[in-house]
Amino acid sequence: MRYLFATSLIACSSFVPLMGSDARAEGFFSDSHGSLELHNYYFNDGYRDGGDDRKEWAQGLLLDVQSGFTPGPVGFGVDALGLLGIKLDSSPTHNDTGLLPIHDDGRAADEYGSLGLTAKIRYGDALIKSGTLLTKIPVLVFNDGRLVPQTFRGTQIEYTGVDNLYLHAGHIDKNKVRNSTDSVDMTPNGYSGDQGTDFDFAGATYKLTPNLSLTGYHGEMRDFYRQEFIGAVHKWNLGAGSLTTDLRYFSSADSGRAIAGRVDADMFSGLLTWRQGGSAVGFGYQKLHGDTALPYVTGGSVYSFSNASVGKFIQAGEKTWMARYDYDFAAVGVPGLTFMTRYYKGDDGIYKNRQAREHETNTSLKYVIQDGYFKGLGTQFSHAISRSTYSDDRDNYRIYLTYEIALW
């Protein structure tokens, strides 16, 4: 394990001599930064329908090194992301929580790791990146809900040369899920075949006023599905508080050969959030139209208010009501302490020709030390209760210990 992590450290720094000593004064080195995140996670998934509970404990390390750019009209740089997961406690009877890879013999891996390198080019207001990407856009959201994040491999370009406008496009050809070291072709969630493909996207965000932004994206997993997204976020300041309206609309259909079958899913969701002092209270509604569930990439997350700890509430025809409350204890003199609770209730869905109803409650309490020697050290306790007519009923407990260290 020590050798594996040391190898990652050496590999992450191996690009430095290639740029020459003159780069240091021009920003390649002086604008660089590195950080190390330590994730100590315990997961306990309790199955209420008679199945074995899933319980695992593991340690994760995330080394993030980002260079500046070389001088001149065109600047070059390199980023590196080293990921390592270490098993602390697991058994064949209770594994498969998503923290660790599972071998063919049914046992969790003792450790797993990967190194991702990303080349980047800056020209004026354009930034091109190629290599390992943590893409988080409405039509493609990487999953960071376990020990190490899901990563993609591809190329993207971002442009910010027009006031209040952000343009973004890219091509993704590989996906590495959060508990694996294998880079595989892109596939939609739930697909069990052996054919994969790639993913293209393009989109923009425009800030129409200081309080109103509009976003549109197109994504296509070739020969599987295509998806359009339109969203609007508006913040209205009212006296001592503010009201935020967040509206999202997805339209999804099959693409090309439709390898995984027909896709027909439109989804509208909206959330109203009132913030005042340390409190934030939100109420939302979501409705799917069409004959299939909302498609998304294997192992990924969904850009939805209903992307809960256990369920996603995106079955065909499903309608979901949601409520959420957050409190930041900085308002009463305890910075770093936060509380969240939320509730979802989904009805009228269809899953494999049977009715899908579900409800889920999530609660979490988190504290991060704000200053002093242990600044960045955090702990979080999360609890989820999930009940469903088409999936296992689960009581989920999670304990996180995290520590983010700025290396330079």
Q: Which of 189, 163, 159, 162 is nearest to 175 (CA)?
A: 189
Tell me the β-bridge partners of 38.
61, 403
Tell me which DSSP letter residue 391 carries: S
Flag whether the pTM goes above 0.85: yes
Q: Which helix (H) or strand (E) holds 406?
A: strand 394-406
Q: Is the pLDDT at 14 greater than 60, yes or no?
A: no
**CA 198 from centroid of its chain's CA atoms:** 19
Concatenated DSSP letters of 87-132: EEE--TTT--SSSS-B-TTSPBPSEEEEEEEEEEEEETTEEEEEEE
Q: In this model, does residue 12 exceed pLDDT 90?
A: no
CB 33, CB 72: distance < 8 Å: no
* C-alpha to C-alpha distance for 314 and 288, rounded to whole angstroms: 7
Instruction: Show the DSSP H helices in 158-292 as ranges.
Output: none
Q: Where are any strands of DSSP class E within 125-164?
A: 126-133, 136-137, 140-141, 151-159
- Residues 389, 374: contact at Cβ < 8 Å? no
Average pLDDT in the 84-110 region? Answer: 95
Q: Which residues contact 387 (CB under 8 A, 6 or more apart)?
A: 358, 359, 360, 393
Q: How many other CB atoms are found less than 10 A from the CB of residue 89?
A: 12
Token code pair at residue 143: 């999953």
Q: Is the pLDDT of residue 301 over 60?
A: yes
pLDDT digits (tens, 9 = 90+) for 34-62: 999 999 999 999 998 887 899 999 999 99
Q: Which tens digits make up the pLDDT trace of 321-369?
A: 999 999 999 999 999 999 999 999 999 999 999 999 999 999 999 999 9
In this structure, the number of other CB atoms found within 10 A of the CB of residue 198 comes to 17
Q: What is the mean pLDDT of residues 2-16?
A: 34
DSSP 8-state secondary structure symbol assigned to residue 315: -
Q: What is the C-alpha separation between 303 and 139, in angstroms, rounded?
A: 7
Instruction: Please determine, for residue 21, whether its predicted confidence score (pLDDT) is greater than 70.
Output: no
Please give the sequence-ordered ranges of beta strands (E in DSSP) within 210-336, or none if there are none.
Answer: 212-221, 225-238, 241-254, 264-276, 279-289, 319-328
pLDDT band at residue 26 using 50, 70 and 90 as cut-offs:
low
Of all helices (H) and strands (E), which one includes residue 11? helix 2-13
Cα dihedral value 209, 212, 218, 224, nearest 10: 170
To which H or E segment does residue 13 belong? helix 2-13
- How far apart, in whole angstroms, are the C-alpha atoms of residue 152 and residue 142? 8
- Of the candidates 384, 244, 390, 260, the one whose C-alpha atom is nearest the C-alpha of residue 313 is 390
Per-residue pLDDT tens for 263-291? 999 999 999 999 999 999 999 999 999 99
Sole residue written with tokens 């960071």: 144
| Span 156-214, pLDDT tens digits | 999 999 999 999 999 999 999 999 999 999 999 999 999 999 999 999 999 999 999 99
- How far, in Å, CA of 237 to CA of 244, rounded? 9
> Mean of the pLDDT values across residues 298-325?
97
Q: Could you state, in order of their start, the residue ranges of all structural domains in the chain? A: 1-116
pLDDT at 3: 35
Residue 370 — pLDDT band, cuts 50, 70, 90? very high
Residue 4 has pLDDT above 60, yes or no: no
Q: 3-class DSSP state for residue 3?
A: helix
132 bridge partner residues: 153
Contact 225, 257 (CB under 8 A): no
Cβ pair 86, 111 in contact under 8 A: yes
Residue type, 333: G
